[in-house]
Amino acid sequence: MPILTARTLITAIGTVEYPAITIGPTGLIEDISTDPTIRSTAILTPTFLDIHFHGAAGEDLMAATPEGISKIQRFLATRGTSHYLPTTVTAPIDDTLRALEHLADAIEHPSAPGEATPLGIHLEGPFLSHIKRGVHPTELLQKPSIALFDRFQQAARGHIKLLTIAPESEGALELITYATHQGIRVTMGHTNATAAETNAAIVAGATSGTHTFNAMRALDHREPGIVGVILDRDDLFSDLICDGIHVAPALVRLWFRLKQEKAILITDAMSATGMPDGEYHLGSFAVTVKDHRCTLTDAPDTLAGSVLTLDQAVANLQSFTNATLAQAVRCASSHPARMLGLEDTIASLRPGQPATFNQYTPEGRLEATYLQGHRT
């Protein structure tokens, strides 16, 4: 049986020096031992899980064909991402239902070798704030509705695993409670919520904040709002787009210092990711991409997703905050897995689990990804 060796193995809870990892015929880890005679200088880490991802490689997940989704998943694997949540964007209800159906098809169809795996769907919109809607069109936003959510979940065949909602909206607390009781994680975003409204949503079951700082009520010294609550509460996860465009490095440092084990890196990547500058689409919206900055073509002051990849986000977090490779990798692997309740199966790196690793050089450069024991 093949044995994969390295100088260091970074796991969700610690490190193993001089690991020798035995990989079984089905691509599972059979044993992890140590051997001080190993001469490898490589560093092995968990692969990445992107919980907020709209597309890449010229393909948009709201309308991608099966071939397009496969293209996206191959691209993700080249950037160290083994699992992801395909994420919707606000659209006409019928368009959203069709998108959920084809994303459910992708989830139920096993990914080909060398491709990332979709774990479930992140429903971003239409239950968002008109004031903090970002690119989401105001005429298509909806009041939180259990009946409409049920239509979405039926189309998704039960695969919605994460819901972004503005907690101050009428009916939001009822939907948060309802979704939470179904085992769905609820994250608060595109919101103008006050601190009191945010805390009420947490009591109802919300567990996280969506792209922290972006499309949120600004922090104020007398009304801390949702950002103040997210930064203050130790029990709340918080995800962030760490590209140096969406959030200034000084605030990335503050966020990381305060959130630590609840910090999650996301990309919010759209179809232009991995592509040259030009004109693209995020759902039905025209987007102009120039110098890594994505903006609505008809509203160039409005950011529209990103072209970030998680390997770059991990590198940026280290650069902006002096985080170690282990700390940064966990923000893109074990932390999102824990938020989703998947910590026992994703990024755990223990016998019986898939032999799925990222391999780094001693200088911290991603040089290879292994999916179920196979180098991609």
Binding residues: 124, 135, 190, 211, 214-215, 222, 246, 303-305
Residues annotated in the binding site for substrate, as ranges? Answer: 135, 214-215, 222, 246, 303-305
| Range list of H helices, 219-266 | 225-232, 249-259
**Strands 293-296 and 117-118, bridge-based pairing:** unpaired
| Phi/psi of residue 170, nearest 5 degrees | -60, 125
CA 183 to chain centroid, in Å, comes to: 18
- Exactly one of 268, 277, 298, 344 is catalytic; which is it? 268
DSSP state of 277: S
Helix axes 93-108, 146-155, angle to 10 degrees: 40
Euclidean distance between CA atoms 124 and 164, whole angstroms: 5
What gap in Å lies between CA 292 and CA 297, rounded to an integer? 14
Residue 268 bears catalytic tag? yes
Q: Is 248 left (phi over 0), alpha (psi -120 to 50) or beta?
A: beta
| Tokens standing for residue 232 | 């203050």
**Per-residue tokens: 298:** 């008809």
Per the structure block, which two tokens stand in for 21? 């990892």
Report helix, strand or coil for 164.
Answer: strand
Strands 3-5, 374-375: pairing kind: unpaired
Burial of 76 (0-12, 13-18, 19+ CB in 10 A): buried
Q: Which residue has the tokens 């905050």?
A: 321
DSSP for 175-216, written as a single string = HHHHHHHTT-EEEE-SB---HHHHHHHHHHT--EESSTTTTB
How many whole angstroms separate alpha carbon 355 and alpha carbon 129?
A: 42
Among all residues, which ones are annotated catalytic? 268
